[in-house]
Amino acid sequence: MAASRNEAAVDALSRLGIATENSGACLGPANWRAGGATIASINPADERPLAKVRLADAADLDAVLASAAAAAHAWREVPAPKRGEAVRRLADLLREHKDALGTLVALENGKIKAEGDGEVQEMIDIADLAVGQSRMLYGKSIPSERPQHRMSEQWHPLGVVAVITAFNFPVAVWAWNAMLAAVCGNAVVWKPSPKTPLTAIAVQHLANRVVREMQLPNVFALAICEAGETQALAADPRVALVSFTGSSAVGREIAGRVAGRFGKTLLECAGNNALVVAADADINLVVPAVLFGAVGTAGQRCTTTRRLIIHRSRQTEVLTALKSAYAQVSIGDPTDPATLMGPLIDAAAVANYTHAIAEALAAGGEIVCGGRVLPGPGFWVEPTIIAGVDNAAAFVQRETFAPILYVIPFDTLEQAIALNNGVRQGLSSSIFTRDVRVAEAFVAATGSDCGIANVNLGTSGAEIGGAFGGEKETGGGREAGSDAWQAYMRRQTNTVNWGDTLPLAQGIDFGAPGRAG
């Protein structure tokens, strides 16, 4: 199942400035460094190295943070709409490099080219939103209870924002954070996954171009490092906000470290997303939604559909349709336009896949389709549907980053909602129904407990305009649109007394010892 490394791929690497060996730390244009170990970026489709990267060590990280702190001081004095112009320029460069960067995402992550391009589009979309937002960092005006007083609030930059991203959205999640953080007046330090370092280096080259051309402070920095340095990054008081995307276990550790110094966190951890098929669901919507949600990105999205909660009366019909849809999924070279599913990221991901399936079978689960590891080189598995499992089983309760869909039947809407909510994670959810009462019940306060609850569309593939994130062990953070920009700023309440007396709030009379005359 080896994928060919075609000329277009080699061309994409060179168009993005990727060398055979690259430094993993960058303070700004012409300021790359790295004193740590050397790693290889492996193409998960053929297990061949794409290029090498020297990691940042503790000294590199320290230099990056010192530089970012200085840049943040200068950047906060630049008017926000001017900061927006830098993001607009970066969006221009992303448009220009969309094809190459989308290809590099496909090569390094293994997601298909259409999804790699989609990810770059997501970067462009959030950049456009951030440019507009740079003119709308609104504070409120609040009526004061005291005469001749004016109360208002304004939003100030935080300082340095660290963005820790996962391999599965190697560039878009940085963009959600970085574009907003930058217009909000912060310097951004990016710690990408060492599984996908080249896409980060490519984006850093583009950011460097913007900084150089526009002669900006070095507000975009990069530190590709190992776990020890990542924990040091979280513990460093120079970092005002740590935005973390990844597993709940690591998120919990990072959050603890940041909380220990009263820093801020923005967490986007595990999802365990269910798609509910109500008795009256339109199968023509359900099948493509499950296919994209459960098979797309080889099941490696935070928003991947992991549980199919299905009305018992529709089970046979829907599973039969899904079985034939799954049979048509072409697995192979992610850069081939005919491919629908690429490889998993690495051997550990394949091991997690096999382990979860073995557990499900041992617990009496039955494979509807898929279930096998495919021959390498490359990390190939079949998209899998497993029925006859219990929602409370350990393997259903945890997020396995692989294309495995568990089928769980229900009889009443109350049961379906309880099953949807009956996991520790709370990212995304959806229901398929034509009944407005069922739809509204699902999105009501008594319905889905997730950060995202959809009706008649799948659990994955959210637009950037909405706030993205979830509850419980997903971590509670919100990124991208709506008012998510506020996470990258500190709120200041200002009360101004423009009178000649000093009335106290709550009508307190505190005597008048200092009263003149």
Residue (104 or 462) nearer to ligand UN1, CB: 462
Find the DSSP H helices in 328-370.
Answer: 347-362
Any catalytic annotation for residue 268?
Answer: yes
Q: Is 460 in the site for ligand UN1 (CB under 6 A)?
A: yes
CB 5 within 8 A of CB 44: no
248 binds ligand UN1 (CB under 6 A): no
* C-alpha span between 330 and 344 (Å, rounded): 14
The number of beta carbons lying within 10 Å of the beta carbon of residue 264 is 16
d(CA 16, CA 205): 8
C-beta of 126 vs 387, nearer to ligand UN1: 126
Minimum Å distance from CB 306 to ligand UN1? 12
* Residues 461-500: x where in contact with ligand UN1 by CB under 6 A, - otherwise, as a string: xx--------------------------------------
Q: Which amino acid is at 100?
A: A
Token digits for 161? 């924002």
**Neighbour tally for 328: CB within 10 Å:** 8
Whole-angstrom CA distances from 513 to 79, 507, 509 are 44, 17, 12
Q: What are 418's two structure tokens?
A: 């309880």
Cα-Cα-Cα-Cα dihedral of 74, 170, 202, 29, to 10°?
20
Within its chain, how far is the Cα of 328 from the centroid? 29
* Consecutive H or E run containing 443: helix 436-443
Nearer to ligand UN1, 61 or 101 (CB): 101
Residues 67, 204, 245, 391: which binds ligand UN1 (CB under 6 A)?
245
Q: How far is the CB of 111 from ligand UN1 (least distance, A)?
A: 11
Residue of the chain from 167, 169, 292, 485 that contacts ligand UN1 (CB under 6 A): 169
Q: Which is nearer to ligand UN1, 187 or 462 (CB)?
A: 462
- The footprint of ligand UN1 on this chain (CB under 6 A) covers a number of residues equal to 11
Q: Is 302 a catalytic site residue?
A: yes
430 belongs to the binding site for ligand UN1 (CB under 6 A): no
Give the one residue of 184, 201, 302, 381 binding ligand UN1; rule: CB under 6 A.
302
Q: Does 301 bind ligand UN1 (CB under 6 A)?
A: yes
**Who contacts 10 (Cβ-Cβ below 8 Å, separation ≥6)?**
none
Q: Which residues contact 466 (CB under 8 A, 6 or more apart)?
A: 452, 480, 481, 482
Q: Give CA torsion, residues 79, 65, 222, 96, to 10 deg.
A: 10
Residue 112 vs 302, nearer CB to ligand UN1: 302
The CA–CA distances, whole Å, from 446 to 72, 273, 407, 514 equal 43, 17, 23, 56
Q: C-beta of 301: minimal distance to ligand UN1 in Å?
A: 4
Q: Which residues contact 153 (CB under 8 A, 6 or more apart)?
A: 139, 140, 142, 491, 492, 493, 494
- Residue 396, H or E segment: helix 394-397
Interface characters, 170-199, with ligand UN1 (x: CB under 6 A): ---x--------------------------
To the nearest whole angstrom, how small is the minimum distance from the Cβ of residue 375 to ligand UN1? 28
Q: How many whole angstroms separate alpha carbon 267 and alpha carbon 243?
A: 6
Residue 292 binds to ligand UN1 (criterion: CB under 6 A): no
Q: Determine if 163 is a binding residue for ligand UN1 (CB under 6 A).
A: no
Question: What is the closest distance, in whole angstroms, from the C-beta atom of residue 180 to ligand UN1 in the complex?
Answer: 15
Question: Least CB distance from residue 448 to ligand UN1, whole Å?
Answer: 16
Establish if 105 lies at the interface with ligand UN1 (CB under 6 A).
no
Which listed range, 96-104, 330-338, 373-381, 459-467, lies at the site for ligand UN1 (CB under 6 A)? Answer: 459-467
Only one of the segments 66-74, 94-102, 123-131, 455-463 lies at the binding site for ligand UN1 (rule: CB under 6 A); that segment is 455-463
| 301 versus 472: smaller Cβ distance to ligand UN1 | 301
Residue 416 CB, nearest approach to ligand UN1 (Å): 22
Q: Is 211 in the site for ligand UN1 (CB under 6 A)?
A: no
| Cα distance between the two ends of the chain | 93
Task: Give, for 340, the enclosing helix (H) or strand (E).
Answer: none
Beta bridge partners of 428: 452
- By beta-carbon proximity to ligand UN1, the closer residue of 185 and 458 is 458
Binding of residue 303 to ligand UN1 (CB under 6 A): yes
- Whole-number minimum distance, CB 403 to ligand UN1, in Å? 14
**Residue 244 contacts ligand UN1 per CB under 6 A:** no
Tokens of 431: 């229901």
Distance CA 11, CA 15 (A): 6
> CB of residue 203 vs ligand UN1: minimum separation in angstroms?
16
Contacts of residue 500, defined as CB under 8 A and 6 or more positions apart, other chains included, come to none
Two tokens at 433?
């129904």
For 408, the 3-state DSSP assignment is strand
Catalytic residue among 115, 119, 122, 268: 268
Cβ proximity to ligand UN1, 332 vs 477, nearer residue: 477
Residues 326-355 within binding reach of ligand UN1 (CB under 6 A): none
Choice among 26, 269, 302, 369 that is catalytic: 302
Q: Give catalytic residue positions.
A: 268, 302
Q: Which residues bind ligand UN1 (CB under 6 A)?
A: 122, 168-169, 173, 245, 301-303, 460-462
